[in-house]
Amino acid sequence: MVQEQLIVQNETGIHARPASEFVKKANEYESEIMVVKGEKKANAKSILGLLGLAAAKGDELTIIADGEDEQSALSAIAELINSKFGEH
């Protein structure tokens, strides 16, 4: 199991489009990927779960990956978040 704390950097937070990209990226990996925000926890492969976190700009998320490709999965998710989901 690997984990990393990341800050949501895009202006609009994780709304429908970024959540869709997040789920698409997470589903490329076999590992279980969880996203934690405060007391809330969501499966990164569930768009409704991610939207339920209501993650806004500046919120800290803990990404936890567990499985055979956990490091690759964590790196890819971190890159997606740090790229602001392509928003400028």
Task: List, by residue number, the catalytic residues.
Answer: 15
- Indicate the helix (H) or strand (E) that contains 6: strand 2-7
Nearest-angstrom CA–CA distance, 23 and 39: 21
Pick the closest to residue 4 from 72, 68, 65 (CA basis).
Answer: 65
Nearest-angstrom CA–CA distance, 70 and 72: 6
For residues 37 and 53, the answer to whether their CB atoms sit within 8 Å is yes
